[in-house]
Structure 1
Amino acid sequence: MTVSPPATDFSTDLALALRLADAADAQSLPRFDAPDLEVSRKADRTHVTDADLATERAIREILSTERPDDGILGEEYGTEGDARRQWIIDPIDGTANFLRGVPLWGTMIALAVDGVPQVGVVSMPALGRRWWASAGGGSWTATDAGPRRIVVSGVDSLDDASVSFQSIAQWSDAGKLPELLALADRVWRDRAYGDIFSYMLLAEGRIDMVAEFDVKEYDIAAAVPIVREAGGRMTAFDGTETLSSLSALATNGILHDPFLSLFRDVQRS
């Protein structure tokens, strides 16, 4: 999946994606912190809840009616169709948080055209927050006063940067623990805000970098247009313009190359 879009009007698709998020919230939020929540494990030993399954089904049902010719890639029900237009769905990003009653989870909905994410919506109903973007249309979030356009920070020094590294275990499993320690030593502030919320904090200019490993396309696709339209940059951890390498590095754009240089210096040492 590449990350540089052509200029096209996706307003109709964005409107649909926002309605899909409404339908998703109607499924997921009533099940959050529910005493009878059903939890099981998938073949890869990760958790799945009845809310994950119901939320993805609700999205797919709408798409089957309104976009029958489009393809779908969802975390829970896999790939459907083989179209150049593909909806990419993570019904509940942060399932571990969801099942423990931690409100940092959300639904991610993206539309990719020829492998490029062009529309992205992230809804975190337990926080009462939503973000969205489409190619050429800017990045936005909902507020009590109405939609507000968001932009990344203008921080231009690693020494002043605030970063989210997701988890120590993730970096260790990827063999990147030396890079994480070097990062923590260099920047002003390091925290693990976790999952999709980190990318939304980046797009709002509240932090300056997010990096994670072992990610699938549905884990990250919706964040791509939101970060990009806010003025940020997203690549794989090695700097390539793809998100198919199971890693992601998102920054405010200004600091992208300095972060890559920092990581490369560690790898050479």
Structure 2
Amino acid sequence: MAGYADDLSLAHLLADTADSISMSRFRALDLRVESKPDLTPVSDADTAVEQAIRATLARARPRDGVVGEEFGRTEAAAGPGTRRWVIDPIDGTKNYVRGVPIWGTLIALLEGDTPVAGLVSAPALGRRWWAARGHGAFAGKHQHAATRINVSRVGRLADASFCYASLTGWADTGRLEPVVDLALNAWRSRAYGDFYGYMLLAEGALDIMIEPELSLWDVAALIPIVTEAGGTITELTGRPPGDKTAAIATNGLLHETILTALVSPRR
């Protein structure tokens, strides 16, 4: 995978370290959980994973910056550069602290503001997903046990599997009614939440995934995987998702249908 082969290999190495730490603390009786200022939980596993990833990046990529959920932004040690690694040490912390196995480490590489490579590792599910710009998306247990993945070809909402996150969040945006309408008019609707709905979309197992607001570390790794699998992911305006924006991901064929439903005036 010319251009990003070394970066993806490093991402897998980072994920190996993350998996080892997070799995050793998963369902641990002495797991320490605190509340951040926004009242979301953070465990000692979240902080330990991010610290370990940052330590490796400082050695292996001193010219790259780092942005992480728990410790913010760190500029490159070897001078300003255009590349940044974006880390969510445990996406799905609420699942993690309750013993639900749907959680994962998200690792992305950005050039400027564009995510060019992404990896999601869900060790409790025994699965990873990864992609680099221009080279397709893959899933498997590890880098050397991979299958190329693609989105579905479903073209009608009535035939589509619709996935959503946070009805409360959609209510806060004033768009709960169209979200409910979409769910009622789809073939099937489920709320898998966090990274998992996007990965199922990339695999072609569902056709639509929407979320009212994501931070950069929540979405950066997802963008290359969804797009390289042939899907489309934007915010409500149709632009690429950014920090603190909605994320609308589809197989591409259904994208305009979903955007139109969500941005049209309420009846």
TM (norm. structure 1) is 0.93
Q: Structure 2 CA distance, aligned partners of 1:245 and 1:98?
A: 23
Query: Partner of 1:96 in structure 2?
Result: 94
What's the offset of the Cα at 1:245?
Answer: 4.8
Give the SS at the match of 2:20: helix
Query: Partner of 2:29 in structure 1?
Result: 35
Q: Structure 2 CA distance, aligned partners of 1:8 and 1:19?
A: 18
What's the offset of the Cα at 1:261?
Answer: 1.8
1:8-87 aligned at under 5 Å gives the runs 9-81=3-75, 83-87=81-85
Percentage of identical aligned residues: 48
Query: Partner of 2:191 in structure 1?
Result: 192
Alignment length (residue pairs): 262
Q: Are 1:110 and 2:104 an aligned pair?
A: no
Give the SS at the match of 1:214: strand
Q: Quick one: structure 1 residues 9 and 95, their matched pair in 2 at CA, closer, same or farther if it must change by over 3 Å?
A: same
What's the offset of the Cα at 1:210?
Answer: 0.7
Give the SS at the match of 1:103: coil
What's the offset of the Cα at 1:169?
Answer: 1.2
What's the offset of the Cα at 1:143?
Answer: 4.8
Q: Quick one: structure 1 residues 41 and 222, their matched pair in 2 at CA, closer, same or farther if it must change by over 3 Å?
A: same
Give the SS at the match of 2:214: coil
Check whether the contact 1:93–1:108 (CA below 8 A) recurs between aligned residues: yes
Q: Structure 1 CA distance, aligned partners of 2:244 and 2:39?
A: 21
Q: Structure 1 CA distance, aligned partners of 2:186 and 2:96?
A: 30
Check whether the contact 2:216–2:244 (CA below 8 A) recurs between aligned residues: no
What's the offset of the Cα at 1:186?
Answer: 1.8
Query: Partner of 1:182 in structure 2?
Result: 181
What's the offset of the Cα at 1:240?
Answer: 2.2
What's the offset of the Cα at 1:268?
Answer: 5.3
What's the offset of the Cα at 1:8?
Answer: 7.3
Give the SS at the match of 1:207: coil
What's the offset of the Cα at 1:178?
Answer: 1.2
Q: Structure 2 CA distance, aligned partners of 1:261 and 1:8?
A: 38
Give the SS at the match of 1:254: coil
Q: Structure 2 CA distance, aligned partners of 1:194 and 1:238?
A: 22
Query: Partner of 1:131 in structure 2?
Result: 129
Q: Which amino acid aligns with 2:95?
A: N
Q: Structure 1 CA distance, aligned partners of 2:182 and 2:225?
A: 25
Unpaired runs of at least 5, structure 1: 1-6
Check whether the contact 1:8–1:136 (CA below 8 A) recurs between aligned residues: no
Higher RCO structure (Cα 8 Å, ≥6 apart): 1
Q: Structure 2 CA distance, aligned partners of 1:75 and 1:68?
A: 19
Q: Structure 2 CA distance, aligned partners of 1:210 and 1:107?
A: 19
Q: Structure 2 CA distance, aligned partners of 1:163 and 1:214?
A: 17
Query: Partner of 2:234 in structure 1?
Result: 235
Q: Structure 1 CA distance, aligned partners of 2:173 and 2:215?
A: 14
Q: Structure 2 CA distance, aligned partners of 1:70 and 1:240?
A: 26
Q: Which amino acid aligns with 2:113?
A: G
Any idea what the Cα deviations from partners look like across 1:81-117, whole Å, max 9, x if unmatched? 1531000000000000000000010000000101100
Q: Which amino acid aligns with 1:134?
A: A
Q: Structure 1 CA distance, aligned partners of 2:211 and 2:39?
A: 20
Q: Structure 1 CA distance, aligned partners of 2:266 and 2:27?
A: 47
Q: Which amino acid aligns with 2:148?
A: R
Q: Are 1:219 and 2:221 an aligned pair?
A: no
Q: Which amino acid aligns with 1:104?
A: I
Unpaired runs of at least 5, structure 2: none
Check whether the contact 1:9–1:135 (CA below 8 A) recurs between aligned residues: no
TM (norm. structure 2) is 0.94
